[in-house]
Amino acid sequence: MTRRLSIFNVTSLVMGFAFLYLPILLLVVYSFNASRLVTVWGGFSTQWYGALFRNQALMEAAWVTLRIALLSASIATVLGTLAALALTRYGRFPGRTLFTGMVYAPMVMPEVVTGLSLLLFFVAVDLDRGFWTITLAHTTLTMCFVTVVVQARLMTFDRSLEEAAMDLGAPPLRTFFSVTLPLIAPSIVAGFLLAFTLSLDDLVVASFNTGPGATTLPIKIYSQVRLGLSPEINAASTILIGLVTLGVILATLISKRSVLRSRRNAH
């Protein structure tokens, strides 16, 4: 089957990707601007990167964000994987409908509502707002995304592999750890990365649940942006974009290898 790209197809692809990438590119370019004014080019300079690393508050916010993201993504990965197993492997159990609803609801719930409801909960149980409340909130928000990713893998999982392991003498728990877990591991890693990024990125839920000493990077950036554009933010963004791009390229290379392997498997 030959599919040919028409001029129209090529044009829409070029325009589409230009639309997606031009703003990011401009942001990166202007982080090397010598001028204090973000939109006026004043020559090449890396001074804002220096200023960024000297900005104690920003560095601290980055550190808090990273810790929250790591911790919440780790817990969310465990909980999300368990939920995915429950949904695919446990058939009907009491309250399954409610469970399914609760798994999917946080994904479609507006962030302002999730943020507000969790805050009111933390106030009601008298938990001091700060690092832990944001972590708990992010875990709840992101575990659902982990569930969806892992569940998709489990649904295409060849059950006869597990049956073969049991047939060969492996009890259920050992079957899980020696066959199921290694095979769904890529989706669990993908789920973790998704949860990590979402937590890193979240402004709304974190704003509701933050407290003294727990200012995350998005909250910091948001308050600075409201005061006006700053080349320092451009520099911080460029570093973040660079890290994410590197991570995505690495992840793509790794998954490409496993896709190739499984594709050969299918023949």
Using CB under 8 A as the binding rule, whether residue 246 contacts another protein is answered as: no
The number of CA neighbours under 13 Å toward the Cβ of 184 is 32
Please report, as residue ranges, which positions from 42 to 71 form the binding site for another protein (by CB under 8 A): none
Minimum gap (Å) between residue 149 Cβ and another protein: 13
| DSSP string across 67-124 | HHHHHHHHHHHHHHHHHHHHHHHS-S-TTHHHHHHHHHHHHHS-HHHHHHHHHHHHHH
Using CB under 8 A as the binding rule, whether residue 113 contacts another protein is answered as: yes
Binding part of the chain for another protein, among 48-56, 66-74, 173-181 by CB under 8 A, reads 173-181
Q: Residue 187 or 207: which CB sits closer to another protein?
A: 207
Q: Are 214 and 137 in contact (CB under 8 A)?
A: no
Structure tokens at 12: 């829409």
Return the DSSP state at 44: B
The number of CA neighbours under 13 Å toward the Cβ of 55 is 22
Using CB under 8 A as the binding rule, whether residue 250 contacts another protein is answered as: no
Using CB under 8 A as the binding rule, whether residue 189 contacts another protein is answered as: no
Contacting another protein (CB under 8 A), which of 10, 34, 57, 250? 10
Contacting another protein (CB under 8 A), which of 35, 53, 163, 250? 163
Using CB under 8 A as the binding rule, whether residue 26 contacts another protein is answered as: yes
Q: What is the rounded distance in angstroms from the CA atom of residue 198 to the CA atom of residue 78? A: 16
Which residues on neighbouring strands pair with residue 184, listed in sequence order?
Answer: none
Binding part of the chain for another protein, among 42-50, 51-59, 66-74, 158-166 by CB under 8 A, reads 158-166
Using CB under 8 A as the binding rule, whether residue 223 contacts another protein is answered as: no
Q: Residue 54 or 256: which CB sits closer to another protein?
A: 256
Q: What is the rounded distance in angstroms from the CA atom of residue 93 to the CA atom of residue 217? A: 41
Please report, as residue ranges, which positions from 117 to 156 form the binding site for another protein (by CB under 8 A): 117-118, 120-121, 123-124, 136-137, 139-140, 143, 147, 155
Q: What is the rounded distance in angstroms from the CA atom of residue 128 to the CA atom of residue 139? A: 17
Q: Residue 53 or 181: which CB sits closer to another protein?
A: 181
Q: What is the rounded distance in angstroms from the CA atom of residue 206 to the CA atom of residue 217? A: 10
Q: What is the rounded distance in angstroms from the CA atom of residue 13 to the CA atom of residue 140? A: 37
Binding part of the chain for another protein, among 43-51, 53-61, 66-74, 199-207 by CB under 8 A, reads 199-207
Count of residues that interact with another protein, criterion CB under 8 A = 106
